[in-house]
Amino acid sequence: MAIIGIDLGTTNSLAAVWRNHRVELIPNAAGEYLTPSVVSVEDDGSILVGQAAKERLVSHPERSAAGFKRDMGTGRRFHLGEHVFSPEELSSFILRSLREDAERYLGEAVTEAVVSVPAYFAEGQRAATKRAATLAGLRVERLLNEPSAAAVAGERVRDDEQKLVLVFDFGGGTLDVSLVELFENVVSVTAVSGDVHLGGRDFDTAIARAFCQECGLDWTRLSPRQRGNLLHQAETCKVALSSREPVLMSVMDGEISASLILTSEWLLRKCGTLFRRMTAPVRKVFLDAGTPPSELDDLIMVGGSSRMPTVRSYIARFLKREPLKNYPPDTAIARGAGICAGMKAYDKELRDLILTDICPFTLGVDVINQSEPGRLLMSPIIERNSVLPTSRMGVYSTTRDNQDKVEIRIYQGENRYCADNTYLGKMELSVPPAPAGEQSVRIRFTYDVNGLFEAEAVNDVGERTRLLLRDGDMTEEEVRSRLRELEKLKLHPREQAANREVTARGERLYSVTVGQTRYQVGQILDWFQAQMTTQDPLRIANARRKATHFFDQVERYLQDADFPEGEGYGFDPEEEP
Ligand code: ADP
Ligand code: MG
């Protein structure tokens, strides 16, 4: 029985398998590798998937759905004709269709798969993806992060040297940027960033609107079908422009009849803002990782939108690096998933490849907000982008006199207020009565690559309580044995004099500066604080070096009397020293 690898994309999905010492892409019934992630219900109630469904998006928008990957793990429901589907049910139709294509291609039953998901997918989205697979008759033991999949798709992974790779994945709906470290046979995602509102679709919309404007049409007054048609045309022309120019865009639809000659120069002019937005997540991922871009070894560009020559040259220029050639943009992730499926099947050649992941979101507990008691604040314990498995501790004090217990509520998310984050669960622990602030509780979070999360709280007299949360279908025994392994990994928090010195220096500089400079000092302080909560010695050391460099600069500028005050001093926390 074969195990297949699946790239379940927002726009397109595809499957691959490891056979005869190499990875093979699996063609669908139409002989294509890419299956559009679109579902449509026909009048007789039968389900259409792929290119046919994509066509019906224009002709039968009320019976078709696309882009549902964005809604995985939410309560959103899609009404397709007389049917109502959840995002995971729609995804399961795509998976089922890929599975059937694979069974036909391989001539054997397929009951298991490795499915890739965006590195930033939170627990709920991952669990929903697993449910989708179950619904499609596929067992998924482990989900694979898309950037890891992209990174292992080339031949580079067997190198002995260490490599830092940036995976720039520009798809139809989102831009995902990740830093991946390859070290001997270990592949780990060390930071993720992205723009969830920037993808190929936005270029289609920008092209369609610019077309309307230049041809004297009013976009807002077009019917949904006319818009659908125009978007379809816009996408076709955009794809054509990636390999030749000029391209003629013409739309004949009801009373509309217009045409325009498009060139790359025109595209650049009309979509300039979209192109420029690509660099922000690239800057951010280096900042989050505390690594300068100069340490980057390779650039991998994947996702259909990375086929645009302007995108490639823009990013290549920005990073001063050419993208690697052997990564076909729209199949690399599926190839990587296929390679990992081979590993799962214990193919001898592949057995040694190890993948580790990062935690794509922050996990923390609620704490009292002195200034607004009604709005509990989130206190992070495991910070976003921590390498998994990880174990981190936070120390909290009682807030009331003679408090006899503490209630610890656990949240996931990046927002300052708990109410805006996702609630995961709670635990209670008794504390000996004492004046407020005199008793403390140490809370340790442990989180591993399989989505197993443990919270443990200990009070000053050694009493403890624990909460286990897990997704997927591990048995009690597996859980226990994983935990035993994880016990060994616990790191202890460190308070170092050097860190305090950096903070104190920043605070001083904050008090002696104004305007833009003060604002930047504040930002660097916040950033440094955030780095410290990771409790990752390497990252903290990096952050210290970087913050010190910025502060040196500030001091230099402060001494330079000729420099105009208040305009900012040309240093940017996102820029590398
Ligand atoms: P996803 O990861 O969202 O499933 P893909 O990686 O398959 O998406 O990318 C799909 C996007 O890539 C679409 O917006 C499509 O228009 C765009 N695309 C595909 N080929 C090209 C091309 N040659 N030039 C420009 N854009 C392209
Ligand atoms: Mg993709």
Q: ∠ CA(242), CA(245), CA(249), 5° rounding?
A: 90
Residues 1 and 149 in one domain: yes
Tens-digit pLDDT profile for residues 502-526: 887 787 777 667 777 877 888 888 8
Residues 346 and 365 in one domain: no
Query: What percent of the chain is helix, strand and coil (3-state, nearest 5)?
Result: 40, 30, 35
- Atom index in ligand 1 nearest the CA of residue 11 equals 4
The answer to whether 338 touches 330, Cβ cutoff 8 Å, is no
CA 174–ligand 2 middle distance (angstroms): 8
Residues 203 and 285 in one domain: yes
Buried b (16+ CB within 10 A) or exposed e, 10-26: bbbbbbbbbeeeebebb
Ligand nearest to the CA of 33: 1
Cα–Cα distance, 344 to 110 (Å, whole number): 14
Cα–Cα distance, 224 to 123 (Å, whole number): 35
Nearest CA, atom 11, ligand 1:
172
- Atom index in ligand 1 nearest the CA of residue 173 equals 3
Q: ∠ CA(428), CA(430), CA(435), 5° rounding?
A: 125
CA 304 to chain CA centroid, Å, is: 17
CA 94–ligand 2 middle distance (angstroms): 14
Residues near 215 by Cβ (< 8 Å), separated by ≥ 6? 258, 259, 260
CA 323–ligand 1 middle distance (angstroms): 17
The answer to whether 543 touches 531, Cβ cutoff 8 Å, is yes
Assigned domain for 576 exists:
no
Cα-based distances in Å from 228 to 15, 122, 268, 270: 28, 32, 23, 20
* pLDDT score recorded for residue 566: 39
Nearest to 226 by CA among 201, 255, 191: 255
Number of domains comprising the chain: 4
CA 91–ligand 2 middle distance (angstroms): 14
The answer to whether 300 touches 166, Cβ cutoff 8 Å, is yes
Cα–Cα distance, 528 to 540 (Å, whole number): 8
Residues contacting ligand 1 via CB (< 6 Å): 9-12, 171-173, 200-201, 235, 238-239, 242, 303-305, 307-308, 330
Assigned domain for 572 exists:
no
Residues 507 and 461 in one domain: no
The answer to pTM > 0.85 is no
* pLDDT score recorded for residue 288: 81
Structure tokens at 267: 């595209």
* pLDDT score recorded for residue 373: 80
Assigned domain for 102 exists:
yes
Residues 473 and 434 in one domain: yes
Which backbone phi and psi does 197 adopt, to 5 degrees?
-120, 30
Residues 520 and 468 in one domain: no
Residues 521 and 425 in one domain: no
The answer to whether 412 touches 447, Cβ cutoff 8 Å, is no
Containing H/E element for 249?
strand 247-253
- Which of 305, 312, 313, 333 gets mutated to test ligand 1 (max ligand atoms within 8 A of its CB)? 305
| Peptide bond just before 389 cis, omega within 30 deg | yes
Residues 310 and 189 in one domain: yes
Which backbone phi and psi does 479 adopt, to 5 degrees?
-60, -45
Nearest CA, atom 13, ligand 1:
172
What one-letter code names the amino acid at 384? R
CA 31–ligand 1 middle distance (angstroms): 19
CA 66–ligand 2 middle distance (angstroms): 14
- Atom index in ligand 1 nearest the CA of residue 13 equals 4
- Which of 7, 10, 11, 267 gets mutated to test ligand 1 (max ligand atoms within 8 A of its CB)? 11
Look up residue 176 and give its DSSP letter. E
For residue 480, what is the domain's CATH number?
A: 2.60.34.10
What one-letter code names the amino acid at 533? T
Assigned domain for 566 exists:
no
- Atom index in ligand 1 nearest the CA of residue 200 equals 14
Assigned domain for 565 exists:
no
Residue 61 burial by CB count (10 A; 0-12/13-18/19+): exposed, middle or buried? middle
* pLDDT score recorded for residue 471: 53
Cα–Cα distance, 70 to 194 (Å, whole number): 14
CA 34–ligand 1 middle distance (angstroms): 10
Residue ranges in the chain whose pLDDT is less than 70:
141, 155-161, 184-185, 346-357, 449-451, 470-497, 511-512, 558-577
Residues 139 and 260 in one domain: no
* pLDDT score recorded for residue 489: 37
- Which of 8, 12, 14, 232 gets mutated to test ligand 1 (max ligand atoms within 8 A of its CB)? 12
Strands 405-412 and 363-367, bridge-based pairing = antiparallel
Assigned domain for 243 exists:
yes
Assigned domain for 190 exists:
yes
Ligand nearest to the CA of 12: 1
Ligand nearest to the CA of 36: 1
Ligand nearest to the CA of 150: 2
Q: Which domain holds residue 543?
A: 495-559
- Which of 6, 330, 331 gets mutated to test ligand 1 (max ligand atoms within 8 A of its CB)? 330
Nearest to 271 by CA among 222, 200, 323: 200
Residues 315 and 335 in one domain: no
- Which of 239, 245, 278 gets mutated to test ligand 1 (max ligand atoms within 8 A of its CB)? 239
Assigned domain for 571 exists:
no
* pLDDT score recorded for residue 497: 60
What one-letter code names the amino acid at 113? A
The owner of tokens 């990875």 is: 23
Cα–Cα distance, 550 to 505 (Å, whole number): 11
| CA-based max dimension of the chain | 80
Nearest CA, atom 6, ligand 1:
303
Cα–Cα distance, 184 to 203 (Å, whole number): 39
- Atom index in ligand 1 nearest the CA of residue 203 equals 14
For residue 316, what is the domain's CATH number?
A: 3.30.420.40
Residues 201 and 301 in one domain: yes
Ligand nearest to the CA of 149: 2
* pLDDT score recorded for residue 492: 30
Residues 429 and 540 in one domain: no
* pLDDT score recorded for residue 481: 57
CA 54–ligand 1 middle distance (angstroms): 14
Cα–Cα distance, 568 to 518 (Å, whole number): 9
